[in-house]
Amino acid sequence: MRTTFVNSFMRLAECGHNIHLLTSDLGFKLFDPIREKYPEHFTNVGVAEANMIGIAAGMAIQGFRVFCYSIAPFIIFRALDQIRADICHMKLPVTLLAAGSGLHYSYEGMTHHAIEDIAIARALPNMTVLAPGDPLECEVSVNETVNLHGPCYLRLGGDHNPVVYENSQRPKFGEISCLQSNGNIAIIANGEMLLRAKKAIELLKKEGIICRLYSIYTLKPIDHITIEKIARECSCIVTLEEHNVINGIGTAITEILFSCGYLGKFKKFGIPDEYAKELGDKEWLRDHYGLGHQKIALEIKKLVDCL
Amino acid sequence: MEQEKETRLKKLAKDVRIDILRICEKTNTGHVGSAFSVVEILLVLYSEIVKGRYPDHDRDRVILSKGHACSALYATLTRFGIMDESIFMKFASNGFRLGHHPHYEPSIGLEANTGSLGHGLSIGTGLAYAANKQNSPARTVVILSDGDTNEGSTWEAAAFAAHHRLANLCMVLDANKMQALGFTRDIIWPGEYMDRWKSFGWDVIAVDGHDVNQLTEAFSNIGVRDKPLAIIADTIKGKGVSFMENSLLWHYRPPKGEEYIKALEELSI
């Protein structure tokens, strides 16, 4: 998805958009195409995240749409005071590119994990929050962010993410996409969990359990209408996210389900409220927390068996 | 500076201090000492230095990083007709938008949110960097407090500005040498300010921060050399009222009763 961002940024630069990319000294090789072709659109501010947000605010006041890149924990936790006072309250057009969200930087340890970012980003007034699950959603996110009048938190996963959308279906900004519409069991996922949800659905299908697949990549503002529709049509709803189970998108969806009177089954999958004690590679860590597609399928089967 | 102009600015400084005192008494607002120390810096900027006005994209911008001294900024903006007096008079009143720290509202001269220290220089640096990219003649002046220099982000910005040789950026340090809990030298020894900014690659000038001639001369150096300009303005917290000068109490205390009357008398002489 990081490469998708780079390609989308280059296209926007080519179209003459008044955009600028700041990085706090991260993105080795990633930004080489931008640096070579559009050096005037790129600045490395050094390892100084708080300053990067302040500079972005100043540039945005002066008329630029600014993208700030770092890995997720450094950009949102380290610079949070600048984010809230300098860009959120002032409603400035600054997009935070949070790379390697969730457990992506597995062995790098907890300093590099970001399991609390969505909770914080969603609680910031004026902030649009996006967590694309495949390159198509990422492209739409980057393109739409230049039309926003305020700040945006764009949670990027890793690289080499496959396209999850099929045929000619394309994501619509601000809307939950229905990627599979059969059955009355709904799985709502975002970010890198979208692919895992799809794989879990394939496993469940072999057991005769048919599930719908929804992708929610616009986390704020949230698509109430589609969630209420899902609540009316389904008897079992499951949310999947690579984030703390506290105050992630599962919590946000719960709030809507509760207020619209949903009475069916509900389960949210996410990272338990703890920092990683044991490390492993990405897949090991996800599996450790029950977020591998096989464990997800197993849990959903248990849930469905109780219906 | 001609004698007439100097006399006018000195008179204006008294008037602005009275404006600050009155509005703070009326609204039970503190930070009078911090506001009094920055008066001449603001007056010289708006009288002699700042070019252009909102909505001119190429206007010079002033950012008061020490946002807690905003009563001085509001009073100055009002005296120069940038902020309407009716707005100033509603300072710190229920349901109104003008509080004890400035919120971004460029149409009345508030060029950025400030109040959390250590933000102003980064924002100003971004403005100056963007202006360079746009070939805009706009200059940015950021006013820092001693407390601002405790913040690491201030030095991140200082390094960036020097690295990119932002000659259109000026930092003026309102060095009244006090901060929230006491004298800066007793809290975090700041080193020699001159040496510190020089070592970061800035052009540095030291002035008496209450001397309008020295300030005017110093500000005229913005853009002269190929680097950002740091003006270390030696100031007195609570300047102008004998019992407020160099007193930590007046970092917080709203002027009331006899103290208010006495302060008003001293300023009116």
pLDDT, mean of each 10-residue run, chain B (269 residues) = 92 98 96 98 98 98 98 98 97 94 97 97 98 98 98 98 98 97 94 96 98 98 97 98 95 94 95
Q: Closest Cα to residue B116, out of A87, A93, A91, A97?
A: A87
Boundaries of every domain in chain B: 3-268
Q: List, in order, residues 6 or more apart from A155 with CB less than 8 Å away.
A: A72, A98, A101, A117, A118, A121, A129, A130, A131, A132, A191
CA B29 to chain centre: 18
- Give the pair of three-digit tokens for residue A139: 């492209």
In this prediction, residues A130-146 reach a mean pLDDT of 96
Residue B156 identity (one-letter amino acid): E
Contact with chain A for residue B133, Cβ under 8 A: yes
Predicted confidence band of residue A157 (pLDDT cuts 50, 70, 90): confident
Q: Do B122 and A53 touch, CB atoms closer than 8 A?
A: yes
Helices marked H in chain B? 3-27, 32-37, 39-44, 70-79, 85-88, 120-133, 152-163, 184-187, 193-199, 212-219, 249-252, 257-268
- Give the pair of three-digit tokens for residue B49: 């230095």
Asked whether this chain's domains A2-155 and A177-305 adopt the same fold, the reply is: yes
Contact with chain A for residue B37, Cβ under 8 A: no
CATH code: domain A177-305 is: 3.40.50.920
Residue A75 identity (one-letter amino acid): I
Predicted confidence band of residue A160 (pLDDT cuts 50, 70, 90): confident
Q: Tokens 């770092």 appear where?
A: A70
The tens digit of pLDDT for each residue in A93-113 reads 999 999 998 999 999 999 999
CATH code: domain B3-268 is: 3.40.50.970
Predicted confidence band of residue A305 (pLDDT cuts 50, 70, 90): confident
Boundaries of every domain in chain A: 2-155, 177-305
- Within 10 angstroms of residue A178's Cβ, the number of other Cβ atoms is 16
What are the chain B neighbours of A20 within 8 Å (beta carbons)?
133
**CA separation for the pair A118, B5 (Å, rounded):** 56
Burial of B264 (0-12, 13-18, 19+ CB in 10 A): middle
In this prediction, residues A241-259 reach a mean pLDDT of 97
Contact with chain B for residue A81, Cβ under 8 A: yes
The helix/strand/coil state of A211 is: strand
Contact with chain A for residue B171, Cβ under 8 A: no
The tens digit of pLDDT for each residue in B69-116 reads 999 999 999 999 999 999 999 999 999 999 999 999 999 999 999 999
A58 closest CB neighbour out of B127, B152, B163: B127
Half-sphere exposure of A12 (CA within 13 A, CB side): 26
**CA separation for the pair B160, B126 (Å, rounded):** 10
Contact B113 A86 (CB under 8 A): yes
A85 closest CB neighbour out of B111, B113, B133: B113
- Give the pair of three-digit tokens for residue A281: 């590679």
Domain A2-155: which topology? Rossmann fold (3.40.50)
CB pairs under 8 A between A and B: 101
What are the chain A neighbours of B160 within 8 Å (beta carbons)?
45-46, 48, 51, 55
Contact A59 B128 (CB under 8 A): no
Print burial letters for B196-215: b (CB count within 10 Å at least 16), e (below 16): bbeebebbbbbbebbbbebb
What is the arrangement of strands in the sheet containing A236-244, beginning at the earlier edge strand? A177-180, A211-215, A185-189, A236-244, A265-271
Contact with chain B for residue A46, Cβ under 8 A: yes
Contact with chain B for residue A125, Cβ under 8 A: no
Q: Closest Cα to residue A58, out of B195, B196, B106, B40?
A: B106
**CA separation for the pair A56, A248 (Å, rounded):** 27
